[in-house]
């Protein structure tokens, strides 16, 4: 009798958890090309890379919100663009010491865990475009950061939301090694589309002028079915150029303006 009850509870709980998983994985990314660069911070005066800027990108239904990941001296993954936070070098400072300083809107410096959890909540539209910064200490540390980041997305059941980007090619190769189905885009324009394809990278995210100076790269990317992204496109005329050229993603500090241009 007791065994039967345990079995029933087990079946119900397995059923519930798989239903919950199915719900949380159900997402239809917004059908626009707008990637909010460091979140949608500018219009509302939010700090870059804050949870408020991520939530605003989700509220605008951008197809993606970008952010930067670094690792503290005691191995905490945090969200910050610059190598320094309030004059403290992140890679050489413990997390607790960074917490002494708040962001300008009163938020604490977000950890990657907190950022992913905020990115899962009430999000039916927006990819998490996760830039892993190269380590200033050594390449090996960059490899370790890459593994830890992928593990965390897996742990939090958020792999379906993430696109990884990096200036460190080996970080992207490490990510593919750990998770062969990961979406990856390379940021430094020193690799051809042929090379990206050969190495299993799924897209290019190059500087505006890389494409304008070498428009033949655009056709090459399309031929190889690589995802095309560009940074950082803030002027209306440039936005129109990338829209006309059929870019999958356009990374911008002005997501509302880009959404307007796309309407036209
Ligand atoms: Mg970035």
Q: How far apart are CA 73 and CA 207, in angstroms?
A: 31
Q: Average pLDDT of each block of 10 consecutive residues along the chain (264 residues)? A: 49 44 70 98 97 98 98 98 98 98 98 98 97 98 98 98 98 97 98 98 98 98 98 98 98 98 94
Q: DSSP assignment of the chain, as one string? A: -HHHHHHHHHHHHHHHHHHHHHHHH-----SS-EEETTSS-TTTTPPTT-HHHHHHHHHTT-SEEEEEEEE-TTS-EEE-SSSEETTEEGGGS-HHHHTTSB-TTSPBPPBHHHHHHHHHTT-SS-EEEEEEPPPSS-HHHHHHHHHHHHHHHHHTT-GGGEEEEES-HHHHHHHHHH-TT-EEEE-STTS-HHHHHHTT--EEEEEHHHHHH-THHHHHHHHTT-EEEEE---SHHHHHHHHHTT-S-EEES-HHHHHHHHH-
Cα of 11 vs centre of ligand 1, distance in Å, is 44
Cα of 14 vs centre of ligand 1, distance in Å, is 39
Cα of 187 vs centre of ligand 1, distance in Å, is 9
pTM value is 0.91
Out of 1.20.1250.20, 1.10.3210.10, 3.40.190.170, 3.20.20.190, which CATH number does the structure's domain 28-263 have?
A: 3.20.20.190
Q: Which residues pair with 229 in a beta bridge?
A: 205
Cα of 82 vs centre of ligand 1, distance in Å, is 9
Please say whether the beta carbons of 54 and 122 come within 8 A.
no
- Could you tell me the residue ranges of all domains in the chain? 28-263
CA distances (Å), 50 to each of 35, 40, 106, 220, in order? 15, 9, 10, 36
Radius of gyration in angstroms for the set of CA atoms belonging to the chain, rounded to a whole number:
20
Q: How far apart are CA 74 and CA 93, in angstroms?
A: 8
- pLDDT at res. 4: 54
Cα of 34 vs centre of ligand 1, distance in Å, is 15
Give 210: exposed, middle or buried? Use CB within 10 Å, 0-12, 13-18, 19+: middle
- pLDDT at res. 26: 77
Cα of 186 vs centre of ligand 1, distance in Å, is 12
Cα of 18 vs centre of ligand 1, distance in Å, is 34
Cα of 42 vs centre of ligand 1, distance in Å, is 15
For 219, list phi and psi in degrees, rounded to 5. Answer: -65, -40
- pLDDT at res. 24: 52
């Amino acid at each position: 009798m007791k065994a039967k009850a345990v079995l029933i509870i087990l079946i119900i709980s397995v059923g519930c958890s798989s239903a919950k998983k199915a719900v949380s994985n159900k997402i239809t990314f917004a059908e626009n090309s707008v990637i909010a660069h460091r979140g949608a911070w500018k219009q509302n005066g939010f700090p870059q890379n804050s949870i408020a800027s991520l939530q605003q990108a989700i509220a605008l239904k951008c197809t993606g919100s970008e952010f930067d990941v670094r690792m503290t001296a005691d191995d905490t993954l945090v969200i910050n663009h610059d190598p320094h936070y309030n004059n403290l070098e992140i890679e050489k400072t413990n997390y607790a010491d960074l917490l002494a300083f708040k962001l300008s809107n009163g938020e604490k410096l977000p950890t990657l865990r907190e950022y992913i959890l905020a990115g899962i909540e009430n999000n039916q539209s927006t990819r998490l475009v996760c830039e892993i910064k190269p380590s200033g200490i050594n390449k090996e540390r960059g490899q370790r950061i890459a593994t830890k980041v992928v593990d965390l997305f897996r742990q939090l059941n958020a792999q379906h939301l993430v696109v990884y980007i990096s200036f460190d090619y080996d970080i992207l190769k490490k990510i593919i090694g750990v998770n062969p189905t990961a979406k990856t885009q390379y940021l430094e324009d020193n690799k051809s589309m042929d090379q990206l394809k050969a190495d299993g990278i799924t897209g290019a995210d190059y500087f505006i002028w890389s494409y304008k100076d070498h428009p033949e790269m655009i056709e090459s990317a399309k031929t190889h079915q690589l995802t095309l992204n560009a940074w950082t496109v803030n002027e209306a005329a440039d936005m129109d150029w990338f829209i006309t050229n059929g870019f999958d993603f356009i990374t911008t500090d002005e997501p509302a303006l880009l959404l307007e241009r796309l309407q036209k």
